[in-house]
Chains A and B, each alone.
Chain A
C-alpha cells in the first residue's frame, strides 16, 4: 500500500526514450542558447590569452619591442632570478593572508545577516555592499590620508600620547594587507551570507536538540554545509588578492612589489614578451592553487561538500 501510495504521489516526470528528432531539437536549442556567451568568451578571453601565450615565447628587442621567436628565456628569467620569485612569494603570502582574515572576519557577519529577521536586513546588506560603490583606487586614496605620517591615524595617536613618533604604515606590506582585506571583505560576506541563508535553521536546531553545543554545531553541521560557499568566497577573495593592482601600487609604494604591478611595469617598458610570461605565471599559479584547493576539499568532505 505504502509503495503504491508513493508511486501515486511521485512528482517525477514519466520516463520515456526521446526520439531522434526530439534529441536533435533539444541539441539545437542548447547550442543556440550557449552560442552567444561562448562566442563572447572565446573572442574576448580565450583568443587574447592565446595571443599573449604566443607573445611570451617571443624575444624582447629595445628598438622593435618584440621579435618573433620560440624561446623559453622569459620563463627561465622569471624562475631563476630571486627578485622575481620573491615577488611571486610575496603575492602568494599576501593573497593567502588576506583570504584567511577575510574568512574569519566575514563568517560571523555573514551568519548574523543570514539569520537576521529584522526589517532592516536590506539596509544592513546595503551597508556591506556600500564600499563596492567606490573604486579601488579611490578607496586606496582614502587609506593614504589615514595612514600617512601626518595622516588622521598618526595625528590622533600622537595627540593622545599613545605614540611618540609617527607609525610607518604607508608603503608597507601591512598597509597593503589592510587595503586588500577592505576591498575583498564585502565579496566574502555576500557569498557566505547567501549560502548560510540556504541552510535551513531547523538543521541547526536539530543539532542543538541532540545535545550539540554552539561550537560543535558550527564545526560539525554549519561548516560542512556552508563549505561550498566558503570555497566560493575564498576562491573569489584569493583571485582578487593575487591580481590586486591599485592597492599594492598606492599603499605598498615603490619598494613593495606584487605580481599585478610587475606585469603592468613590464608592459610599460614595452617588454611585452616578459610581461606576457609573468602574466602567464600569475594566471597559472592562481588556477592551479584554486583547483588544488577545490580538489582537496572535495576529497576531504566527499560529494556532500
Chain B
C-alpha cells in the first residue's frame, strides 16, 4: 500500500492567504516605521515642480520620512479645485503654491487657514514682508525694466521711460502679464496701484505708436532676441535666465520702485494632513532649499539666513533701498476688478 501526499486546492489557497496576510502585515509595519505620512502639494508643473522636488522634497522631506505627492496644474485650475472642495470635510491637497495675489484671493474666499508661525522653526528667519497671515512667501522677485542696449539709448531709468509713447515702437508687452503691465503703466503715468485709468491711457498711446504684444514670456524673449523690439518689463529672475541664454538684455530697477512678485504657499482649511503641510512650509524655508532656489531659478530667498554668492546677488538681488521701495499690488482691488481689467485689455488694447 502506498500513500501519496498531494497538495489539495484548499491547502494551496490556505497557504497563499497566510503568506499574503504576513506580507501585508510586514509592509504595513515597514510603512509605519519609515513614513511619517503623505503630503499632497499643489503646484505649477515644469521647472518649478522639478525644483521643488530637487531642492525641498527629496533632500529634506523624503529624507525625514515623508511621502510627497505633487498635484501639478495651472493656478486657475487649482484655485477652482480649492473653491469646489470648500464644502468637503477633507480636501485633496495639504498645501498649495500660489502667487501673493492668488493667496489673497483664496483667503478672501475663506478657503485657507491662518498660518500658525509658532509651528515653523524657520519662521524667525523669514522676512517680515513675506509673513502673510494666510500664507508664507517662498521666493520673490521684482518687475524690472528690460532693454537691449543696442536698440535703446539712452538706457531707461524708470517705468515712465519704458512706457514712453515717443518710443512706443520699441516697446514689447506680454499678453499673459496683463495685470502687472497695467499696474506698471499706471505707476509710469503717475497713478497708483488702485488707480489704473492713467495707465490704460498710456498703454493705448504706446500701442498707437507701434508697441507689439507677445502672447507669452517665451515669445517675448524670442522677440527680444530677434530685435523686433528693444524694451519692456519683466521679472528680474527671468532676465537672468535670458542673459544666460545669450540674449542681449540689461535690467534696471525702476525709479518708481519695482512691482513685487511673491510666490508662496497656503494651507487649505480642509487639508487632510496639516502637520505634513507645516513640515513642507518649514522645509521650504530651510536655508539649503532657499539657496538652491536662488541658484537654480534666479528668485530671491525670503529668509535672512540664506547666503547668496555676491556675483549672483548682483544679478538677481535688490539693494536694501530697492527692497524697501518694492511696490505691492492692491490685492483687493485686483481681485474685484480682474475680469473687467482683462476685458479692457482684450477689447480696447488688443482689439
Interface residues of A, Cβ cutoff 8 Å to B: 60, 62-65, 83, 148-150, 249-250, 253-255, 257, 265, 267-272
Asked whether A269 and B76 contact (CB < 8 A) given A63-B335, A83-B351, the answer is yes
Min C-beta distance of B239 to chain A, whole Å: 21
Residues of B in contact, count (CB < 8 Å): 25
Chain A interface, >50% SS class: loop
Binding-face segment, B5-13, B126-134, B159-167, B339-347: B339-347
- Ranked nearest first, the 10 interchain pairs of A and B with the lowest CB-CB distance are A254-B175, A268-B76, A83-B347, A254-B215, A255-B350, A254-B213, A150-B226, A65-B83, A63-B109, A63-B108
Given contacts A63-B109, A265-B342, 18 further A-B contacts (CB under 8 A): A60-B339, A62-B337, A63-B105, A63-B108, A65-B83, A65-B109, A83-B347, A148-B226, A150-B226, A249-B215, A253-B213, A253-B214, A254-B214, A255-B351, A268-B74, A269-B339, A271-B339, A272-B80
In angstroms, Cα B108 to Cα A65, docked, is 12
In angstroms, Cα B80 to Cα A269, docked, is 10
B336 & A62 in contact (Cβ 8 Å cutoff): yes
In angstroms, Cα B347 to Cα A251, docked, is 20
Q: Which of A83, A250, A254, A268 has the most CB of B within 10 A?
A: A254
In angstroms, Cα B213 to Cα A293, docked, is 38
A65 & B80 in contact (Cβ 8 Å cutoff): yes
B346 & A83 in contact (Cβ 8 Å cutoff): yes
- In the complex formed, the residue of B with least CB distance to A267 is B76
In the assembled complex, B79 has its CB within 8 A of some CB on chain A: yes
In the assembled complex, B250 has its CB within 8 A of some CB on chain A: no
- In the complex formed, the residue of A with least CB distance to B348 is A83
Q: Which residues of chain B in 286-341 are interfacial with respect to chain A, using CB atoms and an 8 Å cutoff?
A: 335-339
B338 & A62 in contact (Cβ 8 Å cutoff): yes
- In the complex formed, the residue of B with least CB distance to A170 is B219
Instruction: Jot down 17 A-B pairs with beta carbons below 8 A, ordered by A.
Output: A60-B339, A62-B335, A62-B339, A63-B105, A63-B109, A64-B83, A65-B80, A148-B226, A149-B228, A249-B215, A254-B175, A254-B214, A255-B350, A267-B80, A268-B74, A269-B338, A270-B79
- In the complex formed, the residue of B with least CB distance to A145 is B222
B338 — which chain A residues lie within 8 A by C-beta?
A: 62, 269
B350 & A254 in contact (Cβ 8 Å cutoff): yes
In angstroms, Cα B342 to Cα A60, docked, is 15
Asked whether A257 and B346 contact (CB < 8 A) given A60-B339, A62-B338, A64-B109, the answer is yes
Which among A63, A253, A272 is the interface contact of B215 at CB below 8 angstroms?
A253
A269 — which chain B residues lie within 8 A by C-beta?
A: 76, 338-339, 342
- In the complex formed, the residue of A with least CB distance to B341 is A269
B109 — which chain A residues lie within 8 A by C-beta?
A: 63-65
A268 — which chain B residues lie within 8 A by C-beta?
A: 74, 76
B80 — which chain A residues lie within 8 A by C-beta?
A: 65, 267, 270, 272
In angstroms, Cα B226 to Cα A250, docked, is 18
Which among A83, A249, A253, A270 is the interface contact of B76 at CB below 8 angstroms?
A270
